[in-house]
């Protein structure tokens, strides 16, 4: 069996008849990880598009040179604080030791739980921003009348 995550043959290392079952389980995990990865990348790309669109609207508040400078400074600070993309792990640091698998899976589950909570926070923040955009659009439309 080929391991997508480790780019090589999968080895359970248990030396028994359970090897094929372990391989199947890891194969299914790798498939779910790739599904997660695709969704993550799509979300990240969408978030960048949303940030760019919101940034463009923010510039509309620049009523004078001082305000332009303030907005520019705030945006520079915000964009500097954006997380960097993940680097590839050097081959020398990759551990395929199944003895640590349970602790790694526990760590993954803890991180995914925190991620789920952050997604809820993002969903709430998206709702607030959408409502503010609606109110702003409505105010601009009424001001033109």
- Whether residue 12 contacts residue 29, with contact meaning beta carbons closer than 8 Å, is answered with no
Output the six-digit token pair for 101: 């698998």
Average pLDDT in the 82-104 region?
78
Instruction: Calculate mean pLDDT across residues 99-105.
Output: 89
Query: Residue 37: pLDDT above 60?
Result: yes
Task: Specify whether the CB–CB gap between 3 and 26 falls below 8 A.
Answer: yes
Average pLDDT value for residue range 80-105: 79
Q: Give me the residue spans of the domains in the chain.
A: 1-80, 99-145
Q: Which of 22-26, 33-37, 54-58, 91-95 has the lowest mean pLDDT?
A: 91-95
Whole-model pTM: value is: 0.69
Which is higher by pLDDT, 15 or 66? Answer: 66
pLDDT, mean of residues 79-89: 76
Q: Could you give the CA distance from residue 138 to residue 59 in angstroms, rounded to a whole number?
A: 18
Apex 76 CA angle, 82 and 138, nearest 5: 90
What digits encode the pLDDT tens for the residues 55-77?
A: 888 888 888 889 889 988 988 89
């Amino acid at each position: 069996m080929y391991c997508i995550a480790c780019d090589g043959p999968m080895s359970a290392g248990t030396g028994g008849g359970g090897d094929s079952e372990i391989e199947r389980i890891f194969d299914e995990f790798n498939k779910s990880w790739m599904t997660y990865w695709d969704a993550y990348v799509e979300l990240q790309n969408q978030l960048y598009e949303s940030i760019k669109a919101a940034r463009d609207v923010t510039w509309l508040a620049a009523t004078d040179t001082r305000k332009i400078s303030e907005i520019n400074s705030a945006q520079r600070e915000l964009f500097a604080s954006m997380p960097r993309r993940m680097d590839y792990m050097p081959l020398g640091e990759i551990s395929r030791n199944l003895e640590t698998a349970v602790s790694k899976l526990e760590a993954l589950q803890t991180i995914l739980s925190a991620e789920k909570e952050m997604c809820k926070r993002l969903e709430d923040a998206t709702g607030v921003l959408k409502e503010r955009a609606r109110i702003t659009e409505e105010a601009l439309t009424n001001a033109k009348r």
